[in-house]
Structure 1
Amino acid sequence: MEPTATATATATATATATATIATTRHVAAVLPPDHTHEGQGFPVRRPFPTSRLPFLDPFLMVDQVGPVRLGPGEAKGAADHPHRGFETIAYVLDGDIEYADSTGHRGIVRPGGVQWLTAGSGVVHSALPTEDFLRTGGLQHNLQIWVNLPAAHKGDAPRTQNRGPAEIPVVRTPEGSSFKVVAGSALGVTGPFDTRVPVTVVHAALAPGDEAELPVPAGHNAAVYAMTGSAYVSGRPLDDGELAVLGDEGALVRLTGGPIGADLLFLAGEPIGEPVVRSGPFVMNTEEEIARAWEDHASGRLGRAGGRRQTP
């Protein structure tokens, strides 16, 4: 779903008017990513959690896979694994992800699509390249974002929300930039996902030298991650792979594309303010709850993703 030209112009005008009366959040820190491997051994670039930033309440993790061009047989994914106590967002930019989980959901996330999985009380799922992509290879690029759940929702029944690219609103500017609003509201549009915690997730593709402003809700933690290219965030340089953590004060963040432009991930969320105890695929409030999660998984109470891989 894309706004009409009128909607785009209105959103841009609204943002410009807001800029004249709102204050800009400064950049509190610029942090480099860690590099690691996940799943079946695919490399990821991770702005957090790191030793410098364990989490950004309510966000627990951002992993970037690629962009990398793979040959036939080189694509890897994540076989059956459990989650409990939080939500995962899988955003596919290039390539694809075939998923299956212990609630019986199966499907494929195509380029531009998003799967929002609320693990809640516990789910086992897999996320693998399709047989077609594995056979032919191609460009692979995706993001995995983890969002914590408050204690009151950690026992919720697992839920999967899937949206294709046509269902996620995009606002475009005359200068060639685009803003894909996955969750929350920005630039006059609202993302299609029902979230347990108020969050804003925007993929900002900035043209070289183009400027834009995104709203930051009061009291929300916020950050900007450079997926590719370079940019300026509230006047401070941000290079490929770096994370700009924003300060607490201000109602907007100002973004400017660098010499080749940039693909940026903007995150803002209302902090939960509860203890975070994590162990691998589980995020709870106490060590006892973590131990129980491992016991439940070992005993099979979280189920199995199961079933033969489905071909597209």
Structure 2
Amino acid sequence: MNSKQSYTELIKTEAKRLGFLSCGISKADFLEEEAPRLEKWLNQGMHGEMGYMENHFDKRLDPTKLVEGSKSVISLLLNYYPAETQNPEAPKISKYAYGMDYHFVIKDKLKALLHFIQEEIGDVHGRAFVDSAPVLDKAWAAKSGLGWIGKHSNLLTQQVGSFYFIAELILDLELEYDAPTTDHCGSCTACIDACPTEAIVEPYVVDGSKCISYFTIELKNEIPTDFKGKFDEWMFGCDVCQDVCPWNRFSKPHQEPLFNPHPDLLSMTKKDWEEITEEVFREVFRKSAVKRTKFQGLQRNIEFLK
């Protein structure tokens, strides 16, 4: 076994031990095929008021601009599918936000993996990324064979589904690279048909400025009244396109205690949410991604559902 092979096996074994669902590796090349797609999406204004999407265009496509001399992009998936969901009468929160903010949970695991690589292999330089930097997570994960990009523009994995986070380590270490997988959406249009705001404008293209997740999290101004009555009771994020996807019948509950929800979250009723105080908000979402929308933002969203 050559060193590339043994290093690759070593990294994948440790990733599994750290709790990652899977690990795929691709060559740190320029993402040629993504450039025109990203440019067109931005030019059509599908990013809405997410101005940051226009920044660092070249860095999004070229990993060597993020890590000098980078050779490999290690993509990792971490399951977040919950064992239980909210009270069915209550306004809904996207499942990824039930527990502790994933940025902290994953960052710690990535740092542990990078530390392990440096201990075991030696002088390796790299950086960890969890969707807060200009990295095209889904494109890298697809390139490294972890799944394909579905018609709802999320990464999908056969026999697994899509309820997972994607993260990367970009390293200046040469490794064995995985091959991309094939698309298994077939003629299915479940996600397109079910989207409450018709944000999936054509297969594989989501108009971010029409997405419920965008309105409830990213948009800081008032939600346009044209969308009144179309939110399907979502107050933070939206899982509709994932919930209806046939591949998600294979979703299994995660094993990460930090992703378990605050005990009150699942039992809160519609009335509890409508009367929520800032104190309760701070307690229930103390370390949660929901804090991003702030108390006022969540109140605005709940009000919009009435």
Question: TM-score range, shorter-chain basis?
Answer: under 0.3
Which has the bigger relative contact order, CA under 8 A and spacing at least 6? Answer: 2
